[in-house]
Amino acid sequence: MNLLLLLVSAILINNFVLHYFLGICPFLGVSKKINASFSMGIAVTFVLTLTAVVSWAINHWLLIPFHLEYLQIVSFILVIASLVQLVEMFVRKTSPPLYQALGIYLPLITVNCSIMGLALLASLKEYGFLETVVFGIGAGSGFTLAIVLLAAVREQLELADIPKPFRGAPIALIVAGIIALAFLGFSGMIKP
């Protein structure tokens, strides 16, 4: 039951993009088309879940027992970079069409704040193993939801006459702000 609440919280109440501001670069950069956004979302969810597992393992089997918590930042980022590299090689070997579809997005995931952010937040909140995995899945799903929503609106905006200074990033941010406002309504869903 607790895990379900955690999942709902990660997707809706404390949405990774709209509440924690993690993953803004791809959020703004990739959200011009719904299809691309959805692919990006799936890729990110996959890497997030994988990272959740590995970061928990490193934290609990290496850093904490040996009192090396201060090496957290260095170890996490190196692991994430390697993980993304491995995922890219794996996807290229096993499914060339998928690799074609995801293209440049995969290497970009390394500097996606949400991956590092997930590892750090899960560590900060002292989640157990299962909680961390659920948190990862929830974070990725929340990211996918947010980016697809933004892409849906932006595709419509293509047909609108937007004042010059607002075209591109500014109007995307304003739309994101309105979506974030709507998501605020999800707060308090889980009664204490």
Partner 1 sequence: MPDKSLAGEFIKGLWDENPIFRQLLGMCPTLAVTNALLNGLAMGLAVTFVLISSAVLVSLVRKLIPNQVRIASFILIIATFVTISDRFMAAFFPALSKSLGPYVPLIVVNCIILGRAEAFGSKNPIGRSLVDAMGMSLGFLFSLLLLSGVRELLGSGSLFGHRVLGAWFEPWVVMLLPPGAFLSLGILIAAALFVEAKLKKRRVL
Partner 2 sequence: MSLPARMMTVLTAVSFLSASLLVGVNILTVDRIAANKQREIEAAITHVVPGTTASSKLYEEKGFAVYNGRDADGRLAGYAIQSSTGGFQDVILLLVGTDPEVSRIRRLVVLDQKETPGLGAKIVQEGAFLRFWEDRDCREPLTLRKPPVAEEELKPTEVNAVTGATISSEAVLAGVNGALTRFRQLRREGKLPAEDRNAR
DSSP state for residue 10 in the 8-state scheme: I
Closest distance to partner 2 from the beta carbon of 9 (Å): 8
Using CB distances below 5 to 8 A depending on partner kind, what does residue 178 bind out of partner 2, partner 1, none?
partner 1
- Which two three-digit tokens encode residue 78? 């190196």
Nearest-Å Rg of the Cα atoms of the chain is 17
Query: Is 126 one of the binding residues for partner 2 (CB under 8 A)?
Result: yes
21 vs 99 by CB, closer to partner 1: 21
Using CB distances below 5 to 8 A depending on partner kind, what does residue 64 bind out of partner 2, partner 1, none?
none
Other Cβ atoms within 10 Å of 128 Cβ, number: 12
169 vs 190 by CB, closer to partner 2: 190
Other Cβ atoms within 10 Å of 46 Cβ, number: 16
Listed in sequence order, the residues at least 6 apart from 41 whose beta carbon sits closer than 8 Å to its beta carbon are: 140, 143, 144, 145, 147, 148
Q: Specify the amino acid at residue 10.
A: A
Closest distance to partner 2 from the beta carbon of 129 (Å): 14
Closest distance to partner 1 from the beta carbon of 32 (Å): 14
Instruction: List contacts with partner 2 (CB under 8 A).
Output: 5, 13-14, 70-71, 74, 125-126, 187-188, 190-192
